Amino acid sequence: MNGTFIGRTAELTALSTALGEQRLVTLSGVGGVGKTRLAARAAHARRADHPDGIHIVELSPLQDPALLAITIAENVRLADQTTRLQTEVLCEWLADKRLLLVLDTCEHLLGACGELAELMLDAAPGLTVLVTSRQPLGRDAEHVLPLRPLSLPAPGSTDPDASDALALLRDRAEAAAPGRRLTERYAAESAELCRRLDGIPLAIELAAARLNAFTVPDLLARLHARFEVLTADSRTPRRHRTLRTTIGWSHELCEPLERLLWARLSVFRGGWTPEAARAVCSGGPLPESRIESVLRGLAEKSVVQCERSAEPPRYRMLDTLREYGAQWLAELGETTAVRDRHAAYFRDLAKAGDVACMGASQVAWHRRLHAEHANLRAVLDFLLARGDGRAALEVAGALWFFWFGCGRQREGRGHLRRALELVPEDCPERTKGLWSHGTLALIQGDLEVAAVAGRKFAEAVAGQDHPDTRHAVTYLVGGTHCLKGNQRAAYEVLDAAPRSPGDGGSYPAAWLLTRLLRHFVQLQCGQFAEAAADAAVTRAECERRGELWVRCFAGYMQATAELGMADIGSALAHAREALAGMRILEDSLCTAMILDVLAAALAAAGSGPAGARLLGVADAIWLTVGRRQFGAPELSAARADCERRLREALGDTAYEKEFRRGLEAGAEDGVAYALGEPALLASGD
């Protein structure tokens, strides 16, 4: 919920102490009791004990336990692009880290979270795991701290400083009704309201949000009437009944259209924009024109929260409230219809992103798809569970750039593989899915799978003479030859491709990807002048389009070619320009490749200490990628030669010192140093 952190002094001390003494701590309690907020507060209070960082992984949007390790890896920026088991890679990466990992909202993934937590803790002696859940994981090493509601005012007491619950009510009431000071005017009733709500923070915040329209006695009377009707079931624990009753009461106080929107919004995961709400939640008595005003009404009542700093604004709903909305949606009989609209909206979003991904709005689409990752996952889970393979392929195939250029190859391949198994017959969706799956296998170095995908794709589009389709075949087939080291075969495939870029069609990136492949083959063959000239043309075309990702790769290749021709100044300039672009897109693979060539250029320029540091920064990123130097023997040889020259220039002791500084600096600071910006890594120069 929104607002300042109130009270919890004793609980914060107990949790902080437990985190200093135990390695697996679970903060358990009913929904709405404040587990997430307290966990975040305690984690940051212990940040000095964890030099490798505090990482809070929000798990409420995640439904598929198979994606748990991938979700954690994304959070710690482990962009592994191999075909190894993600769990194995994650544990290996954590092995030497002193890190606090917060797994927030685990009750729907208890088995998976418990198993993975034990594996990570066994592998990483410096790791501490803090879990928030409505119930414990049930593991032997687990230290459980039950989180109780906020302290209540003693009978007859109205002092907010003596009660966390009353202090919270006062704080939130002043936010909802500035200047009215209702909790002071009705001190006794406010204390009774907190007691009636059992000190549950979510219940108090929902009540306080209504003080812009009601007095405290009004709320107390309404709440008392509802409790009389709905809390008779003694089999349900009191706090569960209190929260359920309070949410139901808050629901009743909403306008009819607000209740309907609340229910329909429950299909979203990880938030939504007003545009998405209009597309998914309108219909019947709730027209599109009313969505935003009704949404604002729900925000005023604390049912949803608005992230106004986002552009466009994004809304979120606490999991406890979302669950209530989902139950109401089922009672209305609308679950299937609204989930279908949700799937249709995000299918169209994925397709629009595919069309626009190689143009001027590339960065905007990169950010938008990242923001909607949880919703895209939910849609794919929904379509695959329903057996709608063609629709799933349409979504997953259109998201190829999201999987390919943002380090999510493993997840993308998983969705595509499952969808392809559901659609054995030829159709346009399967054809695009084959290509997308092949591109992901290619960048992961799974060359046999890439070769099979390339062959099947070529067979599926045989007879089609569209330039972009032919470029798409060229990229898959030629790329497989290239990464297998057969540059002659790669050249033959490239030379048979059409020269014209086409008009995009179903494969809008294929021509640019094929150009990148040609530059890479030229570099492997030592054709530096040709590679530099051709890469410059590609960069110019990308600049004309407003495209960034391919332009950065082309800049890297141009810099590599210029280094091969001993044009050190140009190599440094183009590498830094490419690095600045990749800083925006956060492509770990390309960033590491650029840092390697920058280090080599600095070594050639006589800047040995800086070159050694950047090799260290690059190696740290290669560790997260999982495939050093992209698995290319030529790149590995170039990196080894750079290290040899730096050791000769600096001596082994000085080289190791500078390399270690880069290795331990962190990617963000290392990239800033490479770009000549003030950075911690530069201190001591």
- Tens of pLDDT, residue by residue over 544-575, are 999 999 999 999 999 999 999 999 999 999 99
Query: Encoding tokens for residue 323?
Result: 């669950």
| Least confident interval from 183-187, 364-368, 606-610 | 183-187
Query: Encoding tokens for residue 177?
Result: 């009704």
Q: HSE of 196 in the Cβ direction (CA atoms, 13 Å)?
A: 25
- What per-residue confidence (pLDDT) applies to 503? 74
Identify the residue whose tokens are 């049930």.
138
CA dihedral sign, ordered 566, 568, 572, 578: negative
Q: Does the structure show a pLDDT above 80 at 359? A: yes
Query: Encoding tokens for residue 37?
Result: 């907020």
- What per-residue confidence (pLDDT) applies to 280? 98
Q: Does the structure show a pLDDT above 80 at 230? A: no
Q: Does the structure show a pLDDT above 70 at 228? A: no
- Tens of pLDDT, residue by residue over 639-668, are 999 999 999 999 999 999 999 999 998 889
526: left (phi over 0), alpha (psi -120 to 50) or beta: left
Query: Encoding tokens for residue 565?
Result: 């021709």
Confidence band (pLDDT; 50, 70, 90) for 538?
A: very high
- What per-residue confidence (pLDDT) applies to 237? 58
DSSP string, 260-275: HHHHHHTT-SS-B-HH
Q: Does the structure show a pLDDT above 90 at 606? A: yes
Q: What is the 3-state secondary structure (H, E, C) of 1-67?
A: CCCCCCCCHHHHHHHHHHHHHCCEEEEECCCCCCHHHHHHHHHHHCHHHCCCCEEEEECCCCCCHHH
Q: How far apart are CA 524 and CA 516, in angstroms?
A: 13
Query: Encoding tokens for residue 568?
Result: 């050190």
**CB of 74 within 8 A of CB of 131?**
no
CA 384 and chain centroid, separation: 21
> Bigger pLDDT: 681 or 132?
132
493: nearest Cα among 504, 509, 477, 512:
477
Q: How many helices (H) and strands (E) does the chain have?
A: 34, 7
- Tens of pLDDT, residue by residue over 46-56, are 999 999 999 99
Backbone dihedral angles phi then psi of residue 25, each to the nearest 5 degrees: -120, 130
Confidence band (pLDDT; 50, 70, 90) for 401?
A: very high
- Tens of pLDDT, residue by residue over 309-325, are 888 899 999 999 999 99
Q: How far apart are CA 511 and CA 499, in angstroms?
A: 9
**CB of 116 within 8 A of CB of 62?**
no
420: nearest Cα among 431, 404, 407, 408:
431
- What per-residue confidence (pLDDT) applies to 239? 59
**CB of 137 within 8 A of CB of 118?**
no
Confidence band (pLDDT; 50, 70, 90) for 619?
A: very high
Greatest distance between any 2 Cα atoms in the chain: 89
- What per-residue confidence (pLDDT) applies to 681? 67
Q: Do the strands 143-146 and 127-133 form a parallel or antiparallel pair, or are they unpaired?
A: unpaired
Q: How far apart are CA 91 and CA 159, in angstroms?
A: 50
Q: By three-state DSSP, how is residue 510 classified?
A: helix
> Any residues with CB less than 8 A from the CB of 201 and at least 6 apart, and which?
1, 32, 33, 34, 37, 149, 150, 168
DSSP string, 530-542: HHHHHHHHHHHHH
- Tens of pLDDT, residue by residue over 461-472, are 998 888 999 999
Confidence band (pLDDT; 50, 70, 90) for 184?
A: confident
- Average pLDDT score, the chain: 92
Q: Does the structure show a pLDDT above 50 at 375? A: yes
H or E element that contains 515 = helix 510-524
C-alpha to C-alpha distances, 653 to 607, 645, 647, nearest whole angstrom: 16, 14, 9
Q: Does the structure show a pLDDT above 80 at 678? A: no
pTM for this entry: 0.91
Q: Does the structure show a pLDDT above 60 at 429? A: yes
Q: Which residues pair with 58 in a beta bridge?
A: 104
Q: Does the structure show a pLDDT above 50 at 630? A: yes
**CB of 454 within 8 A of CB of 477?**
yes
Q: HSE of 635 in the Cβ direction (CA atoms, 13 Å)?
A: 24
**CB of 372 within 8 A of CB of 270?**
yes
C-alpha to C-alpha distances, 235 to 230, 231, 238, 320, nearest whole angstrom: 13, 10, 9, 20
C-alpha to C-alpha distances, 238 to 33, 105, 136, 232, 476, nearest whole angstrom: 13, 21, 19, 10, 61
Q: Does the structure show a pLDDT above 70 at 97? A: yes
Q: Does the structure show a pLDDT above 80 at 232? A: no
Query: Encoding tokens for residue 555?
Result: 């800049």
Q: How far apart are CA 424 and CA 550, in angstroms?
A: 33
- What per-residue confidence (pLDDT) applies to 392? 98
- How many C-beta atoms lie closer than 10 Å to residue 200's C-beta? 25
- What per-residue confidence (pLDDT) applies to 252? 87
DSSP summary character for residue 678: -
The alpha carbons of the chain give a radius of gyration, in whole angstroms, of: 28
Q: Does the structure show a pLDDT above 60 at 597? A: yes
Q: Does the structure show a pLDDT above 90 at 381? A: yes
Mean pLDDT of 202-210: 91
% pLDDT > 70, the chain? 96
